[in-house]
Structure 1
């Protein structure tokens, strides 16, 4: 079992990320923290294998916190989860030893794929045998498999994909719509709209945003790029 710590200053986002992670076989959410201080305390209590870490935290950034962990000798893996897309931050994150960088907002499947790849990576590196070059190359690329996140819906139809894409675009620049709205406007089932919206967002053809209600469950909203 891989124990992970979710660190995000937004209580709703932290709760949702913890829920997503808890659905992945082999992972257990050992705790949630909303700033660097409680996160470090959780690490020092022991039992944490992986941190899902937001960059924008109160008092200390996720990147600074990662560097502090390394300085203190804590050998814990980190996946950065943030809306910050600046190239310089990505570069510094890699230099700090962060394994992967997942951009918000993302789907449950996107996080699940990264965690499964991480589990595979961890298992491979845990083996005692020496690795050949092919195994090393495969291991280093384990977390960088975007094709796993862009699987077309079952029975994929380019015509339906175009219909969904046009329906969103016709609502105007920046206008966000839900799967239910697309379903009604395009006269297709809600489940079909949902599948194609998700695929188009993961393929970069639509933008996904999450809106959190009182229930804590995020509503997925889509707009043109």
Structure 2
């Protein structure tokens, strides 16, 4: 379990964040505190993997706590949860190593996504001695998932396309590990006819979600390959 601490002065928000955390598999709340003194006392005597940190606290600032963590070389990761939208605050947060920045009010889906990405990264770091660039990029850029999730969450299809077939293909694209894939790759996994899969992939290519290339061999038909645009 990923040991987590919440630093939030508002009792209602603290309770909501605690309930949100309880709904995400793999996380355990070790401590919820209302101020930085309590946070420092606890973190000085206990180990946590993740801190959900507010910025605006009575007579205190979460960024100061973040700086203190780094000065003390405490290895806990931090996700900032704040109403502060200022570019200066966001810049400072990432400069001192936060893994994500959630602006209040946020949805549970965005909260869960943030924690799941952190969990996946933490597990990979624990179970691998080395990472290839493509694997590391998933955590640094997260570009592929962002592109696909954006398309999943908001799309309007042209006439002749079925939204359920489209969603099945988009969902499967989120699981693609190789850089380039073919119609046959998706057709076999989804059990959908190749001609149908190609129709949808070509549509997504025209919409700018995919890059399409054609490889010509010496004999036979050309091979169509696709790549998710970053």
Pairwise TM-score range, normalised by the shorter structure: 0.5 to 0.7
List gaps (5 residues or longer) in structure 1: 158-225
Aligned to 2:81: 81
Q: How many residues align?
A: 157
Q: Work out whether residues 2 and 49 of structure 1, in 8 Å CA contact, stay in contact via their aligned partners in 2.
A: yes
Superposition misfits of 4+ residues, deviation over 6 angstroms: none
Computing the radius of gyration from Cα coordinates, the structure with the larger value is: 2
TM-score (ref. length: structure 1): 0.63
Alignment of 1:1-225 (within 5 A): 1-142=1-142, 146=146, 148=149, 151-152=152-153
Q: 1:104 to 1:47 in 2, by over 3 A?
A: same
Question: Distance between the aligned counterparts of 2:122 and 2:136, measured in 1?
Answer: 13
Q: 1:150 to 1:116 in 2, by over 3 A?
A: farther
Q: Work out whether residues 117 and 139 of structure 2, in 8 Å CA contact, stay in contact via their aligned partners in 1.
A: no
SS in 1 for 2:117: helix
List gaps (5 residues or longer) in structure 2: 158-230
Q: Work out whether residues 5 and 51 of structure 1, in 8 Å CA contact, stay in contact via their aligned partners in 2.
A: yes
Q: Work out whether residues 55 and 62 of structure 2, in 8 Å CA contact, stay in contact via their aligned partners in 1.
A: yes
TM-score (ref. length: structure 2): 0.62
What does the per-residue CA deviation read over 1:59-112, in whole Å, with 9 as the maximum and x for residues that have no partner? Answer: 321111000011112111000001111111111111111111011001112111
What does the per-residue CA deviation read over 1:9-59, in whole Å, with 9 as the maximum and x for residues that have no partner? Answer: 111001100110111000011111111110111212213110000010123
Q: 1:142 to 1:40 in 2, by over 3 A?
A: farther
SS in 2 for 1:102: strand
Question: Distance between the aligned counterparts of 1:62 and 1:144, measured in 2?
Answer: 31
CA RMSD of aligned residues (A): 2.5
Q: 1:143 to 1:91 in 2, by over 3 A?
A: farther
Q: Work out whether residues 5 and 32 of structure 1, in 8 Å CA contact, stay in contact via their aligned partners in 2.
A: yes
Q: Work out whether residues 110 and 149 of structure 1, in 8 Å CA contact, stay in contact via their aligned partners in 2.
A: no
SS in 1 for 2:47: coil
Question: Distance between the aligned counterparts of 1:43 and 1:134, measured in 2?
Answer: 34
Question: Distance between the aligned counterparts of 1:143 and 1:102, measured in 2?
Answer: 18
